Amino acid sequence: MRAIGHFIGGKEVKGSSGRTADVFEPMTGEVQAKVALASKAEVRAAVENARAAQPEWAATNPQRRARVMMKFVELVQRDYDKLAELLAREHGKTVPDAKGDIQRGLEVAEFACGIPHLMKGEYTEGAGPGIDIYSMRQALGVVAGITPFNFPAMIPMWKFAPAIACGNAFILKPSERDPGVPMKLAELMMEAGLPAGILNVVNGDKEAVDAILDDPDIKAVGFVGSTPIAQYIYERAAQTGKRCQCFGGAKNHAIIMPDADMDQTVDALIGAGYGSAGERCMAVSVAVPVGKTTADRLMEKLIPRVESLKIGTSVDPSADYGPLVTREAVEKVKNYIDIGIKEGATLAVDGRGFKMQGYEKGFYLGGSLFDNVTKDMRIYKEEIFGPVLSVVRAHDYSEALALPSEHDYGNGVAIFTRDGDAARDFAAKVNVGMVGINVPIPVPIAYYTFGGWKKSGFGDLNQHGPDSIRFYTKTKTVTSRWPSGVKEGAEFSIPLMK
C-alpha cells in the first residue's frame, strides 16, 4: 500500500510520529494509501528548513523568482492528466472537474509570474527640500497555509504561489483526506528550480495545525475550511501575533427573478448546485424564486433535471458528479435530509437511496431537492456540503434581497434576470462578498481577489489578486535627505515637508 510522508527540505521524508490516517478511494470505498500525521517536532523541522532557506530566496531578484514560477506552470501543464486522475481518485470528483481544480490554481501561479511588477513600491522625488520618499515591499519570512480537502490543487496554489513569489518560505498543511496532489506539486516546484526548504508539506491533523499556529517563526497563516475551525485558527493565530486570513463556510443563494431565462437558470443551478457532489464552498445551495409563478415554473423544470442526474465513478467521463469524499460525509448529508423532512420542508427529490452498481462500497449519494424551505430551518441556516438544493420561495424582490443579506454566511450570491436595473441594484445592496449576475459561481479571475463576508471570512485581506501580495509582504517606507539638503541646527518640532 502506498505510504505518504512529508515533503521537507526539498524531498519526501517518512513520518516519524507513528500516527497515520487512511486515504480512501471514494469511488470504491477502499483504502488506497496511508498518510503520516505530523508531530510538533516534524512541523518544527519543516519550519527550521524554511527559516534557513528563506533569506537567500528573498534576496533573489523577483525576475528570477518569476522564472521559477513560470517553469512550475509549464511542468503542471505537462503533468496535467496524471495530476487530474490522482486528484479524482483521492477526492472523488470527476476527472474533468479535477482538471478545473488544477486550472484555477494554475491561473494564480500565472498571476504570481508578474511579481516583478506586483512588488514595486512607490517613489516621490522632492517631497520636501532635498527630501525623497519611497516605499518597498519585503517578504514576511516563513508563512503557512492550511488547506481543505475539496480543492486539493487549487487552494494550495492560491496560497503558496503568491507567497513564494514574494520571497517567503512556505509551510503547507493540506487535508489528510487527499494529500497526493499537494505532495506532487511540491515535487514540481523543486523540478522548476525552487531551492530546497522554500516549500515544505507537512501532512497532519489538529496536532500539526496547532504546531503551526504556535510556532514563533511562522509570521502569517492562511486557512480555508469550515467556519468553526476558521474562527478558531483566526483567534489562536492572533494570540501569537500572526497575520491571518481565514475563510469558512457558505450558504450561497441564487435569486431567480420573474423575467429570468428559466432554461439558463436551471442549467446554472444544476451545475452549481450538484457539481462536485456539492462539495464546494461556492456551490449554490439555496434557490430563491421571486413570486409563486416563478417558483412553480422553476420546480417544474428543476425536478426532472435533478432526477436525471448521472452519478458515476470519478473516472467516468460522462458522469455529472462522482462520490463524496468519505462515508462520514455521506452520512452527514443524509442526516441533514432527515432534519429537513422533520422541519417540514417538502422533499421533492430524494437521493438517499442511490446505489452505484458494481461500486456498492463507494461513497455515493443521489441529488436531493427541497421545496418550501423557510429561513428558520437548520437546512437553510447551516452548510450541508453535499448534493442538496433548497428552494426558498420569496414573495417579492425585497424579501429575496434580504435572505442572503441577513444570512450568517456571506461568501457568494447570484441573481438571474434580464433587467439591468434590478441586477445593478442587487449588486450594490446585497451584503455578500462575491456577486454573480447570471453567473452561478462568481469566483473572480486570478488577478481579482476572492473572499467572503460575515462568517465566511475572517481577516482584512482576501485570497489571490492584489490582496495576496499585500498579505504576504510588509511595507517599509524610507524618507531620505542627503547632506547637501541639510540645514544647520537642531530641529525640535515635528519635521514638516515644506
Catalytic residues: 281
Distance CA 160, CA 7 (A): 14
Residue 221, Ramachandran bin (φ over 0: left; ψ between -120 and 50: alpha; else beta): beta
Q: For 88, what's the count of Cα atoms within 13 Å in the CB-facing half-sphere?
A: 22
Residue 27 near residue 315, CB atoms below 8 Å: yes
Distance CA 254, CA 233 (A): 30
- With the C-alpha atoms ordered 119, 124, 130, 135, is the resulting torsion angle positive or negative? negative
Torsion of CA 104, 109, 111, 112, to 10 degrees: 150
297, three cell numbers: 415554473
Distance CA 286, CA 374 (A): 11
Reduced to 3 states (helix: H, G, I; strand: E, B; else coil), residue 473 is: strand
Q: Which of 252, 253, 256, 295 is nearest to 417 (CA)?
A: 256
Distance CA 11, CA 375 (A): 51
